[in-house]
Amino acid sequence: MNENPIGIFDSGIGGLSVVKEIINILPEENIVYFGDTARVPYGTKSKETIKKYAEDDVNFLLKYKPKLIVIACHTVSSYASDYLRKKFKNIKFVDVVKPSVEKAIKVTKNKKIGVIGTTGTISSGRYQLLLSKNNMNVYAKDCPIFVPIVEEGWFENEISYKIAEIYLSEIKKHNIDTLILGCTHYPYLKNVIRKVVGENVEIIEPSYEVAVKTKNILEKNNLIRKNDKGKIYLYFSDIGPYVKKAISFLFDKKIKYKLTKNV
């Protein structure tokens, strides 16, 4: 079982940021990643469609017999994580919402926390509920255009900056000291987001928190692989012109990737 890979899926290339952090923290683990780039974005879809896509993604990963699956999509984590846990009872899942919330609560000083995400993630209210339960003041904003911007490869230019300025202007008024990037696509835009919100705002990147959570679960269940460096397998349901750019943007070494139609 220790040799079995960690499975990770997302609606597109955003979850590659989770892959990067898991490689950094767990370099000996084998990883199989699936990005559903043919059907991105998930954040504008209905709850039932999101659940169906998520189930398809898990079924793809199950072919590789993962010892744990990371739901690297905030929309799926918000709408379908409980559904997946009930549907696939023998699989350990890590979602991206809870680790981000736990970190934000830990670092905030004035209890004013901003959350940005897809329309689906924000509409689900999951972030707002978990933070409010811990007596936090929550200011949420959906930023749907961020995902296609990232999928287009516009990580830092005048257009991405202007859109970030428009989206975040309202949240800034509330004097937040912490901002959760509630979508794994958003770390690609961290530099422009930082310019808009300022240096004094703590930005929570879910990818690192998820990697730490994954490590803790594997250690607790005696599933850590202790051999040589692990192998990385990246699969996408469609390979557009910016998949390669995203991989080059995140990873120093060459990582192979493949197109799959088996979804």
From 57, 89, 91, select the one nearest 76 (Cα to Cα).
Answer: 57
Q: Please tell me which residue in 73, 168, 204, 255 is annotated as part of the active site.
A: 73
- In this structure, what DSSP letter does residue 186 have? G
Give the type of residue at 253: K
Is-catalytic flag, 143?
Answer: no
Q: Please tell me which residue in 96, 168, 183, 255 is annotated as part of the active site.
A: 183
As a whole number of angstroms, the distance between CA 179 and CA 88 comes to 32
CB burial string 56-84: b at 16+ within 10 A, e below: bbbebbeebebbbbbbbbbbbbbbbbeeb
- In this structure, what DSSP letter does residue 187 have? G
From 162, 74, 163, select the one nearest 124 (Cα to Cα).
Answer: 74
CA distances from 90 to 96, 211, 219, 247 (A): 20, 21, 18, 31
Kindly compute the dihedral angle of the four CA atoms of residues 211, 30, 12, 183, in this order, to the nearest 10 degrees: 0
From 185, 44, 50, 200, select the one nearest 114 (Cα to Cα).
Answer: 200
Where in the sequence numbering do the catalytic residues fall? 73, 183
